[in-house]
């Protein structure tokens, strides 16, 4: 993992933790702050990274639609393209693809010859709904570690989608609807883009449809969807795929479906006990976060000799990186990754 040599002396960090969030003292701005601040740079629109109440926002252009859906049409939002450089108080700032969801970005900071990258959330396996992850060379890399244990190794996306497709087809043949619980932002659209929707109609929760419209406006191709409230004949519902946030599980919203089978789509479904605790018929391990090999791939590709690890399985990843000769430390934040990034919006995994 040879890479950049860390030259910055201790106490001159480009990013520090303040009560409001991750702060860049040299440029006087925050990255994904969790308390109201004057200037915020956002890596993506999930609720643990994008919050209401900031004076001004900077984000990638493709994130604008979903940010306005979630934070309000009237936010003071400046957008940039990937790779476009903005001067923020003398710090050269650019956003680079994170591969997490539409418009997700790694934040590159350059000041006096030192380069830091705040990765936000990311995955290294490409999907058709967002720009693929691009490694950014840097001296210091701030990485998530949601799935930072060697046991997390994702099967190829195509294989998981094939399993979901077969499950839906079997349910349709048996005359029952198929309910998938998934993030309203990112995961739902990834499923819609990857599945063959000729099996039956696709029905979505209102929270999912609002995000679908923003994705379509950004140029992402998604199949036709309709809300459950729009009404479908009973025969059509028995072949339907229904995509909804996990918060609807066990609620009256599902009653109009009649007989149905349900499944959870999440990286946590890699653990058999999680599926049992969630009380679903099936679990499909598909995550918008990097698995263990993906984390190591991203860290190695950026060339950083210093890695700061946040939210998730922090200690195991710090220990492993230290054993590999890197300068690795934990960085405490309030991000929650796939454990509950969108709890405020009713999403879960």
Structure confidence by residue, pLDDT tens digits, 257-316: 999 999 999 999 998 777 777 889 999 999 999 999 999 999 999 999 999 999 999 999
Residue stretches of the chain with pLDDT short of 50? 1-11, 340-349
Looking up tokens 């919006």 gives 345
Q: Is the pTM of this model over 0.75?
A: yes
* pLDDT score of 343: 43
* pLDDT score of 339: 58
CB atoms within 10 A of CB 319: 12
Structure tokens at 127: 């999907």
* pLDDT score of 337: 79
Q: What share of the chain is helix, strand, coil (3-state, %, to 5)?
A: 30, 25, 45
349, 339, 320, 341: which is closest to 48 by C-alpha?
341
Strand bridging mode 140-145 / 306-312: parallel
Structure tokens at 126: 């490409």
229, 235, 188: which is closest to 212 by C-alpha?
188
147, 110, 135: which is closest to 27 by C-alpha?
110
Phi and psi torsions of 323, nearest 5°? -65, -25
* pLDDT score of 272: 78
262, containing H or E segment:
strand 260-265
DSSP secondary structure letter of residue 26: T
pLDDT tens for 111-133 read: 999 999 999 999 999 999 999 99
* pLDDT score of 133: 98
The CA-based angle 118-125-349, given to 5 degrees, is: 75
* pLDDT score of 326: 98
Domains of the chain: 16-152+289-345 (3.60.15.10), 157-284 (3.40.50)
CA distance linking residue 108 with residue 31, whole number of Å: 11
The rounded Cα 256 to chain-centroid distance in angstroms is 31
């Amino acid at each position: 993992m040879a890479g950049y040599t860390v030259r910055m002396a201790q106490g001159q960090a480009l990013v520090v933790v303040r009560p409001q969030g991750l702060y860049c003292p040299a440029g006087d701005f925050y990255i994904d702050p969790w308390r109201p601040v004057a200037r915020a740079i956002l890596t993506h629109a999930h609720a643990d990274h994008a919050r209401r109440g900031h004076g001004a926002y900077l984000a990638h252009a493709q994130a604008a639609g979903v940010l306005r859906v979630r934070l309000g049409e009237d936010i003071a939002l400046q957008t940039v393209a990937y790779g476009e450089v903005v001067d923020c108080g003398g710090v050269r700032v650019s956003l680079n693809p994170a591969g997490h969801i539409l418009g997700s970005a790694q934040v590159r900071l350059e000041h006096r010859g030192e380069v830091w990258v705040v990765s936000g959330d990311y995955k290294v396996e490409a999907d058709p709904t967002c720009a693929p992850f691009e490694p950014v060379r840097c001296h210091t890399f701030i990485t998530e570690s949601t799935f930072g244990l060697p046991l997390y190794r994702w099967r190829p996306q195509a294989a998981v989608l094939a399993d979901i497709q077969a499950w839906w087809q079997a349910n349709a043949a048996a005359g029952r609807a198929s309910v998938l619980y998934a993030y309203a932002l990112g995961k739902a659209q990834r499923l819609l883009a990857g599945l063959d929707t000729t099996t039956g109609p696709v029905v979505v929760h209102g929270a999912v449809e609002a995000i679908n419209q923003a994705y379509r406006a950004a140029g992402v191709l998604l199949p036709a969807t309709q809300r459950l409230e729009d009404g479908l004949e009973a025969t059509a519902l028995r072949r339907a795929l229904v995509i909804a946030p996990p918060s609807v599980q066990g609620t009256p919203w599902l009653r109009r479906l009649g007989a149905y089978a349900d499944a959870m789509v999440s990286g946590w479904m890699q653990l058999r006990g999680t599926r049992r605790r969630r009380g679903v018929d099936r679990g499909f391990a598909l995550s918008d976060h990097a698995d263990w090999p993906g984390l190591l791939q991203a860290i190695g590709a950026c060339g950083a000799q210093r890695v700061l690890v946040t939210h998730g399985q922090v200690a195991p990843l710090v220990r492993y990186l230290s054993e590999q000769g890197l300068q690795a430390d934990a960085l405490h934040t309030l991000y929650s990754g796939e454990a509950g990034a969108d709890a405020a919006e009713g999403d879960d995994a």
